[in-house]
Amino acid sequence: MQTFHNPLHAQHAGQFEMFRGQLVPCHEVPSRVDFVLAELQRRQLGPIAAPALDAAALAASGLAEALAAVHQPRYLSFIESAWSQWVALNPAHASQDALPSVWPVRGFRADVEPDNFAARMGLYSFDAGSPLTAGTWAAAQAGAACALAAANAVLAGAPSAFALTRPPGHHAGPDFFGGYCFINNAAVAVHTLRQRFARVAVLDVDYHHGNGTQSIFYSHPDVLTVSLHGDPRTEYPFFLGHANERGEGAGLGANLNLPLPRGTGFDVWHAALHIACQAVADFGAQALVVPLGVDTFAGDPISGFVLQSADYLQVGQTLASLGLPTVFTFEGGYAVAEVGVNTVNVLEGFKQASSLQVPRQMP
């Protein structure tokens, strides 16, 4: 399995987030990727490369078009320029991350972009747990380039590829950031795969509902979004992820949420994964994108399932049983010391099971 690694990810390194009413050190830290990368190198699971990130290469790659396909232009413009706007307000801000503090709620207008920076931050965010830093745009853009490269590798015939990057992406919506996410890497991969595959499925195994991905594709009949996650009545990000959210308009029936209660163990969780896989098969998906979060681990500090490290090998095997060209994007997992083993266990299980299958014909 080829891995596309983001060499700029550490440029995004938030200092503090708002968590349960207090400013605390960020749970989403650069060492998360470092542990995964070290484990990939130790096991020699496949080649590891960084996509070309110079301006000419990014322009030629079609990244700008992919971003514009999944995010609104004014949102992208804000994220790209937000840090310079923040520092222009006060030079002292150069040493302080930017966090939102005010939001439009039901009945408030979101169609008019405010002039006030704090108001713009609130317009484009849904929580106060995602600090924007000097390197956020560079890291997020490079991460999207990794997702694009992974999808292009699959289009070129690779059975699978992994975008190893942070900040993660599955909470980023058409025009909002949150949950540590600014650009939706999984959505970039889906858009790229749709160049060849008529029907693409997203199967999100992160503990937290992929609210951004669902929002992007909620009316799309040719993209199935499936998410296994903590029940939104009690678990972040709340407000989306309920079982009765099935899509809308032409996309009605192309969204499946499988919320599970805090404390769920592997047997119940794995049974839900089988339901998810059956939905992907019934949809007739020709390619798969897996937002790969391992915050379902029993030791995760901000989650509530109790999977063990060995379980992730079986997760990979079950995903491989679909027999689909697959792109993995790195998402959550905040038990930092174990995140490498848990993530690579999924990939190794997938690779081992895939090697035993008869390759599917590319369309």
pLDDT score of 308 more than 60? yes
Q: Could you confirm whether domain 2-82+139-355 is CATH 3.40.50.720?
A: no
* Of 171, 191, 208, 209, catalytic: 171
Specify the DSSP element, H or E, that contains 4.
strand 2-5
pLDDT in tens, 133-152: 999 999 999 999 999 999 99
- pLDDT tier for residue 315 given thresholds of 50, 70 and 90: very high
* Burial group, residue 302, by CB count within 10 angstroms (0-12, 13-18, 19+): middle
Helix axis angle for 136-155 and 73-89, nearest 10°, is: 150
pTM for the full model? 0.96
pLDDT score of 7 more than 60? yes
Among 230, 122, 126, CA closest to 181: 126
């830290």: which residue's tokens? 29
pLDDT in tens, 178-224: 999 999 999 999 999 999 999 999 999 999 999 999 999 999 999 99
- pLDDT tier for residue 355 given thresholds of 50, 70 and 90: confident
Contact assessment for residue 325 and residue 357, using Cβ atoms and an 8 Å cutoff: no
Catalytic residue flag (residue 171): yes
List the structure tokens of 229.
């996650």
Which residues neighbour 325 within 8 Å (Cβ) at sequence distance 6 or greater?
154, 158, 159, 160, 193, 197, 286, 287, 288, 360, 362
